[in-house]
Structure 1
Amino acid sequence: MYESTSIAHWLAGRRAASGLTVEQIPFSDCKHWSFVDGRLRHTTGRFFSVIGIQCIHGPRHLKGLALPIIDQPEIGILGFVVRRTESGWEWLLQAKTEPGNVGGTQVGPSVQATLSNYRQVHGGQPTEMIDLFTEGKHVVRQIANVEQSEQGDRFLGKYNRNAVVEVERWFQPPAHRAWQWFDADAVREALAEDYIFNTDARSVLCCADWSLLCESEDMPPFGRWRSRGGFGEQLLVSSQVPLPASGHTQALDTLARCREASALQIEQVPLQRLEGWCVDTWAIECSQPGIDPVVRTFRIHSADREVQDWCQPLLTNRTEGLAVLVCAQRDGIVRFLLNPSVEPGFAERAQFAPSLLTGLGHANPAALLETIRNAGSSTHLSVRQSDEGGRFKDSVARYQIVELPPEQAQAFDIAGPWVTLSALRAMANVRGLLSNELRSCISLLLSWV
């Protein structure tokens, strides 16, 4: 129904129509935002706040760590709408403009809204189609519904509801070009492109029924690669390993032990007294050069938002991050190396992260970065992504799927569990097991579905 390149073409048109402008301003000019009791907050007390935290007890990489972090206890809704047609499944994509995104507008879920926004605390237009997810109106069936975390180094205990609902094929989305139906082929191909799908969309796709991305309904995920060899067929085999043989149970045991042993203790600290950080007219910044994030405030205009003009803080980055999901042939089956990661913002203290994740507050297996860069490794996919453009600015990371030779992979058996794709698929439907960055990595694999 649509050309595979049409998502990028449609998105380019929406970017031009948004008229997005983002201007840095001093804290004093950020309308409706101010420092109150050591935190940067909105006058309503809603939306979110920026607070300071210090880790006073925990693993070596976190002990003593102090940083600004987003406090947003509300659970937002990230929801995709799908429909079955004669030619297969179609996904309703939203061209979502966010001030921190590269390019401004990227593909988001059909509905992407915080609780404050869809309850119209901002005083703007209502959130389109929110009743599909709050009331079940026009819904044929609910396909996915699971709460999942935001980034554990930037958000304090923040969760969103990741959902997918099926509607009748006659369902009409809003009469606005910000929403458009695309078939599964177009979605798969766009998942392998830079700056097309935002982090929220990738999270929901990871938690969805992967068969909705297949070429046809009569094949399993990755089934199009059967008897064709290569990495695609290896993913098919890995996705069909029964859970008892997938490493699933061992992985959950590893994560439980990590949570019990972490003894993480976080204390809130006024931003002005955050050790090693400076608050001035324009920024909250680490006194050590090159440390991200830097908190700044901005005046924003976008013609395609419920409110077209507003001000807000954003956590900005100056360096590009790296998130790598490592895989290897283990006993003849492709398995993926998970890193049990203790992060200050996780309500459970620890979740599985990508095999390697750079940035403040992360610990990685020793020598893994050097091994990944070794000539013997193979990069199957590499995509650059803006992380959470509604709260971060210029927060860009390269997400990669890298395969290690079996003999090199063995050296990292003590770093974390090796699991099959079937185990990852099962864990994606459980709250708080897979980090936001790991879900984005898994979404790259869905381009092979």
Structure 2
Amino acid sequence: MSAPSRPSARARIAEPLSIGGVQFADVTEFHRWFAGVADRTHMTVERLGLAELTGWAQDEATGIIRHHSGKFFSVESLDVRVTSGPVPQWSQPIINQPEVGILGILIKDFDGVPHCLMQAKHEPGNHNGLQLSPTVQATKSNYTRVHGGRSVPYLDYFRNPAAADVIADTRQSEQGSWFYRKRNRNMIVQVPENGAAADDLTLEDGFCWLTLGQVYELLRVPDLVNMDARTVLACLPFAGVDVVVSDNAPAEQTACLTSAVGASTDFESALARSRVAERGLHTTGDVLSWITDTRIRTDLHAERGPLAELRGWQHDGARIFHETGRFFDVIGVGVDAGGREIASWTQPMIEQIGTGVVAFLVKPIDGVLHVLMHARTEPGYTDVTELAPTVQCVPQNYDVLPAAARPPFLDEVLDAAPERIRFDTILSEEGGRFFGARNRYLVVETDLEALPAQGDYRWLTLHQLAELMRHSFYLNVQARSLVVCLRSLATASPGPRGAY
């Protein structure tokens, strides 16, 4: 009799995984290691006026801020007109970073258990300094060493992955409100357990091996798993991604599925079915048609221009800020760092005013958990609209906007009973360009009735979201973070929310 076939890497990586790993038996050991990295590395960040930045210049005629190399990024203005939404026209500063960076996680099996190679990394905008980042997190200017610094560890596994198994490889967008058409290559690459590629994979200082279960457990710690790690993890395929549970599937089929993922509650059972149910309230074909329709019927004009002509914004020589004191500022910082490719630099950054709310409303529909997705237009998107969380906003901004601008379902999220909140943690946004930007990420159960066919909201299954993430520019970066948070509920050990 032949031996049973070994599951594919794609299937095994996506399965619920052990909390105990090759390097850390539990997350308590990880936290001791992480504290040690913090003790022997450092980053100090000082606020500077924009005119004080070394290597950056503000054009006298246009006010546009650029690096002297012509690389990295520039700060420009964007004049926006849009046919959908309560605010039809506005101007704002925006970061233009046309180059495509690499965000990548290496995976390797140890005793048959896949582990992720993660890095403890400082970024100048991180709320708490050190955070857990992907194996590689680098702009093209960084990895081509425009700054003259050290090379990026493990980069060749992603630039030349021939000797490895590429699990995911897709371009994804970043914040469309602060970046102009920014995209990064999100990659997950598995190194063989044995062989030359595995033998060459030595553990650099500041890097560690974590099981996926450990990473999911660490997602509950505020400001720990950074945005770049979250967006890459979202691209992991689900186990059994090609399995379809039909509407009339026999009870034993769904029961086997529930048992396979360890579901023990109605919510967990619905979540398990959502991972494999190809057809939900709407077919994937209908969803794709709906997204295309929103992109066609939304007339978006976003024209880059000089900062000197921004309407409603002021520049006091040190920073650029909105006349209401809301939204965000453009500031300068000076950085001294240890353990980075270069030891010191200065740069402009965007500083968000206030803490945002980013939330999925979820509900079981015919026993399958569905997520309420919003087709959202942001001026920096490459293709007009992307699927966003149910709610994505900074609530205090709406104090200075028309009442009609208040996001739908915001009160449903903020007023949710504690027992309906399945995930609730404050997480940081990208710390290389954004200073102290944090959002409260929530997954909230709701009893909302199914929405009408028309409109900018649809109920989708997790399987449908996973299929969309195999392609570029369908889910925005906030939605991808929440997909990882929702997936973690099926694998991470339960614990009190907000306990860290």
Q: Please, what TM-score do these two structures have when normalized by structure 2?
A: 0.83
The letter of the residue matching 1:389 is G
Report whether the alignment pairs 1:165 with 2:200: no
**1:233–1:7: structure 2 CA closer, same or farther, 3 Å change rule?**
farther
Correspondence 1:3-402 to 2 at 5 A: 3-5=25-27, 6-36=29-59, 37-136=62-161, 139-169=163-193, 170-173=198-201, 175-211=203-239, 225-226=261-262, 228-243=264-279, 247-289=283-325, 291-359=326-394, 367-375=408-416, 378-402=420-444
Deviation readout 1:242-261 (Å, 9 max, x if unpaired): 24766422222221111001
Counterpart in the other structure of 2:479: 438
**1:201–1:344: structure 2 CA closer, same or farther, 3 Å change rule?**
same
Rounded to whole Å, the distance in 1 between the matches of 2:30 and 2:452 is 39
Deviation readout 1:281-314 (Å, 9 max, x if unpaired): 210000112x121000011011011001000011
**1:403–1:365: structure 2 CA closer, same or farther, 3 Å change rule?**
farther
Rounded to whole Å, the distance in 2 between the matches of 1:118 and 1:88 is 30
Counterpart in the other structure of 2:252: none
Rounded to whole Å, the distance in 2 between the matches of 1:434 and 1:317 is 22
The letter of the residue matching 1:278 is Q
Rounded to whole Å, the distance in 1 between the matches of 2:234 and 2:385 is 19
Counterpart of 2:89 in 1: which secondary structure? Answer: coil
Give 1:209 deviation, angstroms.
2.7
**1:255–1:62: structure 2 CA closer, same or farther, 3 Å change rule?**
farther
Q: Is the 8 A contact 2:56 2:68 kept in 1?
A: yes
**1:243–1:262: structure 2 CA closer, same or farther, 3 Å change rule?**
same
Rounded to whole Å, the distance in 2 between the matches of 1:372 and 1:27 is 38
Counterpart of 1:392 in 2: which secondary structure? Answer: coil
Deviation readout 1:11-67 (Å, 9 max, x if unpaired): 222223221100011122210011124311100110011111111343244522111
Counterpart in the other structure of 2:5: none
Counterpart in the other structure of 1:215: none
Give 1:444 deviation, angstroms.
0.3
**1:247–1:101: structure 2 CA closer, same or farther, 3 Å change rule?**
farther
Report whether the alignment pairs 1:426 with 2:499: no
Rounded to whole Å, the distance in 2 between the matches of 1:436 and 1:375 is 24
Which entry has the higher C-alpha Rg, 1 or 2?
A: 2
Give 1:10 deviation, angstroms.
2.5
Q: Is the 8 A contact 1:246 1:420 kept in 2?
A: no
Give 1:378 deviation, angstroms.
0.9
Q: How high is the sequence identity, in percent, across the aligned residues?
A: 29
Rounded to whole Å, the distance in 1 between the matches of 2:416 and 2:434 is 34
The letter of the residue matching 1:197 is V
Counterpart of 1:128 in 2: which secondary structure? Answer: coil
Q: Is the 8 A contact 2:238 2:275 kept in 1?
A: no
Deviation readout 1:118-167 (Å, 9 max, x if unpaired): 00000100111111111226x32111100000111110001000001111
Structure 1: gaps of 5 or more residues:
213-219
The letter of the residue matching 2:472 is R
Rounded to whole Å, the distance in 2 between the matches of 1:429 and 1:264 is 26
163-172 vs 145-154, which moves further: 163-172
Structure 2: gaps of 5 or more residues:
1-21, 241-255, 492-500
**1:227–1:105: structure 2 CA closer, same or farther, 3 Å change rule?**
closer
Counterpart of 1:281 in 2: which secondary structure? Answer: coil
Q: Is the 8 A contact 1:322 1:397 kept in 2?
A: yes
Rounded to whole Å, the distance in 1 between the matches of 2:330 and 2:207 is 32
Rounded to whole Å, the distance in 1 between the matches of 2:405 and 2:463 is 24
Rounded to whole Å, the distance in 1 between the matches of 2:258 and 2:305 is 48
**1:29–1:344: structure 2 CA closer, same or farther, 3 Å change rule?**
same
Q: Is the 8 A contact 2:181 2:382 kept in 1?
A: yes
Counterpart in the other structure of 1:410: 450
Aligned residues: 438
373-382 vs 304-313, which moves further: 373-382
The letter of the residue matching 2:438 is V
Give 1:176 deviation, angstroms.
3.0
Rounded to whole Å, the distance in 2 between the matches of 1:180 and 1:222 is 32
Q: Is the 8 A contact 1:234 1:333 kept in 2?
A: yes
Give 1:226 deviation, angstroms.
4.0
Rounded to whole Å, the distance in 1 between the matches of 2:431 and 2:258 is 31
**1:268–1:415: structure 2 CA closer, same or farther, 3 Å change rule?**
closer
Rounded to whole Å, the distance in 2 between the matches of 1:171 and 1:234 is 42
Rounded to whole Å, the distance in 1 between the matches of 2:177 and 2:303 is 15
The letter of the residue matching 1:301 is D
Give 1:410 deviation, angstroms.
3.4
Rounded to whole Å, the distance in 2 between the matches of 1:411 and 1:141 is 41
The letter of the residue matching 1:196 is L
CA RMSD of aligned residues (A): 2.4
Q: Is the 8 A contact 2:257 2:273 kept in 1?
A: no
271-280 vs 185-194, which moves further: 185-194
Deviation readout 1:173-200 (Å, 9 max, x if unpaired): 4553211112232122112221111101
The letter of the residue matching 1:151 is Q
The letter of the residue matching 1:436 is V
Q: Is the 8 A contact 1:8 1:196 kept in 2?
A: no
